[in-house]
Amino acid sequence: MIFTTIVDIAYLIGAILFVWGLRLLSSPDSARKGNTLAAIGMAIGIAGSLCDNRIDGEGNYVWIAGGIVLGATIGWLVAKKIKMTDMPQMVSVFNGLGGACAAILSIVELSTVSLDTGGKVISLFALLIGCVAFTGSMLAYLKLDGKIWDSQVTWPKHNIINQFLLIIVLGMFTYLAMTNASNTLLIAFLVLCLFYGWSFVAPIGGADMPVVISLLNSFTGLSAAAAGLIYDNNLMLVGGILVGASGTILTVLMCQAMNRSLFNVLIGGFSAAGGAAQGADDQVAKTTSAVDASILLYYSQSVMFVPGYGLAVAQAQKALKELDDTLEANGVDVKYAIHPVAGRMPGHMNVLLAEADVPYPKLLDLDDANAALPSTDVVVIVGANDVVNPAAVDDPTSSIYGMPVLNVWDAKHVIVLKRSMSPGYAGIQNQLFFHEKTKMFFGDAKDSIQSLLSEVKNL
């Protein structure tokens, strides 16, 4: 009885810390504290689970301790080693492993325990969602890391194939739930679910990977919640529901940020066909030098930086913060415009800038940034592309037409820091590069910012 009470209290405290931590994660100012509280909640939940009277025998505790030590060591080493540019890949892998855990728990339960229909449905649901989250996340990781391209895993009429696969999966799901099927058929269902997860993500374009990561994260949460029901573990249930709900909400918000439905993301994906900037072939982009750009920045009253994935690739966030500090010391008002889908995962730019100690009040969301742009003297775009493409506003033939973007052309001057004239992740040319207000500053983002910083300091 005493152990049951301890477990219930531990789960209650853990659940409260999960909710509190999730609430604090909504702001970069309190995100670190929220993450710490959630980790403490998880530690308390694990400690409570170890008091569960269903765990008996010294051998079990040895296996559990070994798993905790091994998992914690791997997680710590990977998190310490990973670069900020590879953070989306790490999130995909960790998310996939969470789904795999739920799938393994389900397959063990289905193959070793006699379950009623309700128990079978819950276990099969956890198995299906966990498998989809696992293989889907692994493919998302390979796409994000450039190890696999869309053309290598996509077949003709792939979406139609996925629909047939889904029908087969649901058919087997129903049959297994209603009958006492053999382990052989259960393994066949496992393999089919794993294959469907891979095929589900295969036709989705690389530009939509942030949405896919968020959606698969919600799948993992649902599978964890189902596992909580299987093992009567309230903390797993609450944690899974929180992850599933937050992942779903984030997915919807990101789709809104791209002015697209989730259905369109899953069956479509960005396409370069018909989406090239009109007139790009016969236009010439104007360039600028470090000296001219630094003079423009130094004598401006307001400057807005627009960070993108190129900033992360170049690891230029600290150099950008130093340039920010130097301009602020000269009386220049500096702000940052953050597009909801900038980077390779939700909040990528916020995390990147927080790493460089950029104050959160300087970060403007899409609406606030667009409202401030007409009164901004200079916009400096650092590695962003699709989120500042005017084709989303004025080119009905573009694949990103209707997507809310940062209207950087409303500012008095635009400077684009970029390696080349190559298109962005959506695969289309950016007409902004040829705009009358725009000047291109080619080179590695970090080197370019440092050269600007050096010239500004000399003025």
CA dihedral 43, 44, 45, 46 (to 10 degrees): 50
Return the residue matching tokens 């403007």.
364
Interatomic CA distance for residues 415 and 84, integer angstroms:
25
Report yes or no: 427 and 270 within 8 Å, Cβ to Cβ: yes
110 closest CA partner among 118, 119, 98: 119
| Cα distances (Å, whole numbers) of residue 435 to 98, 102, 415 | 46, 51, 11
Helices (H) and strands (E) in the chain, counts: 18, 6
414 closest CA partner among 378, 445, 448: 378
Interatomic CA distance for residues 33 and 441, integer angstroms:
39
* Token code pair at residue 213: 């990561």
Q: 177 by DSSP, 3-state: which?
A: helix
Catalytic option among 386, 394, 410, 447: 386
With 0-12 CB in 10 A as exposed, 13-18 as middle and 19+ as buried, what is 268?
middle
Q: Is 368 a catalytic residue?
A: no
Interatomic CA distance for residues 336 and 353, integer angstroms:
9
Return left, alpha or beta for 160; rule: phi > 0 is left, psi -120 to 50 is alpha, else beta: alpha
Provide the β-strand partners of residue 439: 415
Phi, psi for residue 416 in degrees, rounded to 5: -110, 115
Interatomic CA distance for residues 289 and 441, integer angstroms:
7
Instruction: Quote the Cα angle for 156-162-167, to 5°.
Output: 140
* Token code pair at residue 88: 């989306």
| Cα distances (Å, whole numbers) of residue 26 to 14, 22, 33, 34, 354 | 19, 7, 11, 9, 14
Report yes or no: 89 and 145 within 8 Å, Cβ to Cβ: yes
Interatomic CA distance for residues 297 and 453, integer angstroms:
10
**Catalytic positions, written as ranges:** 386
